[in-house]
Structure 1
Amino acid sequence: MGVFLVALAVSFGVIFVAELGDKSQLMALTFATRFRALPVLLGISIATAVVHAVSVGVGYLLGAALPTFWISLAAAVAFLGFGLWTLRGDDLTAAEQEKAQRTGSSAVLAASVAFFLAELGDKTMLATITLATQYHGWGGVVGVWAGSTVGMVVADGLAILAGRLLGRSLPERAVRIGAAVLFFAFGIWLAVEAFLTR
C-alpha cells in the first residue's frame, strides 16, 4: 500500500476518533438545529479543509527539520495527551454557543467562520500536525490532509444525523472513553515503534 493510502487511512481514523465528543461536534449539532444540515456540513468542510491544510504544512516542516526518533516519541506523548484530553471532555464556551445559535443570512458562511475559529489550537488541529510529521513526501502530505479533513467532516456529519434522529440522548461518556482508549493505543504503538526503529 502506498504512503498516500496509509496516510489517508490512518489520518481518517485518528481524526474521526478525535472529533468524537469534541466541541466542534457540539457546534455541528447546535448549527443543525438552526439551519439545514447540508449548508452546515459544507461550511464545516470548507473550514476543516483550510485549517488542516495549514496543520499539515506545519507538521511537514517540523517533520523535515527534526530527527525521526524524537518526532515519533513526541507524537506518542501527544497522542497520550489527546487521550487524557478526550477523557476530560470538551464543552462549548458561552461565546461559542452564542456563535452557533446566531442566525445569519448564510449558513455556509456562519458555519465556516465559527468552525475555523473553533478549530484553531483544538486537538484535531494538533493531531493533524502530529500526523503530518509521520508521513513524508507529497503522497503523505496529501494523504494526511485528505484523511484528516474527511474524517472530521464524516464525524460531524454523523453527529448532525444522530442529533436529528436521537436528540441529545447519545452515550457521550461511552464515546469519550472509547475514543480515549484508541488514542492511548495509538500513542503506545508510536512509542514502541520509535524505540524499535532507533
Structure 2
Amino acid sequence: MESLFVSTLVVAIAEIGDKTQLLAIILATRFKKPVPIIFGILVATLANHALAATAGYWVADLLNGQWFKWAIALSFIAMAAWALIPDKADDEDGSAVGRYGVFLTTTIAFFLVEMGDKTQIATVALGAKFHSIFWVAAGTTLGMMLANIPAVYLGEAATKIVPLKYVRIGAALIFLALGIWAVVEAASLFR
C-alpha cells in the first residue's frame, strides 16, 4: 500500500501546473464537455502509466544491483530539479475535435503529451523503486485524476487557487525527499 500512497501523492502534486494539466484546461475551455474529457484522461493515463510502471519493473529486474539503486536515487533528485521548471501549453492550441469526438481526441492527446513527461518518468522510477506494476500504475493514475478532474471542471480558475510557483516547490521537495530516501537505501547496501 505504500507504493499506492507514494505514487498517488507524488503524481498528484507533480501534475499541478504540468503540461498535461494545462492540456486538460485547454480541452475543457474549448469543448465544454467535462465527462468525455475526464474519461479520455483516465483511459490515456491508465494505458500510459501501466506501460511506464511496467518499464520500471522490468528495468529493475534487468539492472538489479548497487549502481542501479544509485541511478534511481539520482533520478528522483533530477526530477526534483525538473519539477521547478514551469511547463507551457504553447504546443497545445485546443484545435477542433474533427471526426474523433471529445473522448477520443482527449485520449489520444493525453497519451501522446504524457510521453516523456515528468509524471511518466516518475512512474517509471516508482515502478523500479517499488517493483510493483499494479499499485504504482493505480497510484499514479489516481494522482493524475486528483489533479486533472478539478482542472477540467474549474478550467483556468484551477491554476489561480494556489500559485503554481509554490506547487512546483512542493513537488520538488517531495521528489527530493524520495531521492534522499533512495540514497539512504542505496548507501545502506554498502554495509
Alignment TM-score > 0.5, same fold: yes
Describe the superposition over 1:143-173 as per-residue Cα deviations: whole angstroms up to 9, x where unpaired. 1111111111221112223436x36534121
Match of 1:74 among 71, 74, 81: 71
CA 1:135 to 1:185, structure 2 compared with 1: closer, same or farther past 3 Å? closer
**CA 1:63–1:84: 2 relative to 1, 3 Å:** same
Q: Which residue is 2:179 aligned to? A: 187
Deviations 1:22-78 (A, max 9, x none): 100000011111221111110011111111111112111111111243333212211
Match for residue 115 of structure 2 among 120, 130, 142: 120
| Code of the aligned partner of 2:70 | L
Q: 135, 148, 158: which one pairs with 2:140?
A: 148
- After TM superposition, the structure 1 = structure 2 runs for residues 27-38 of structure 1, keeping only pairs within 5 Å, are 27-35=23-31, 36-38=33-35
Unaligned runs of 5+ in 2: none
1:44 aligns to what? 41
1:102 aligns with 2:96: yes
Q: Is the 8 A contact 1:71 1:133 kept in 2?
A: no
Matching of residue 60 in structure 1 with residue 57 in structure 2: yes
Question: One-letter code of the match for 1:62?
Answer: V
Q: Distance in 2 between matches of 1:131 and 1:76?
A: 11
Aligned to 2:81: 84
State the partner residue of 2:165: 173
CA distance in structure 2 between the partners assigned to 1:104 and 1:16 by the alignment: 31
CA RMSD of aligned residues (A): 1.7
- For the residues of structure 2 that align with 1:119 and 1:61, how far apart are their CA atoms? 20
Q: For 2:84, what is the secondary structure of its paired residue? A: helix
Change (3 A) 1:58 1:172: same
Which deviations, in whole Å up to 9, do the C-alpha atoms of 1:102-134 show, x marking residues without a partner?
234511101001001101111111111111112
Secondary structure at the counterpart of residue 88 of structure 1: coil
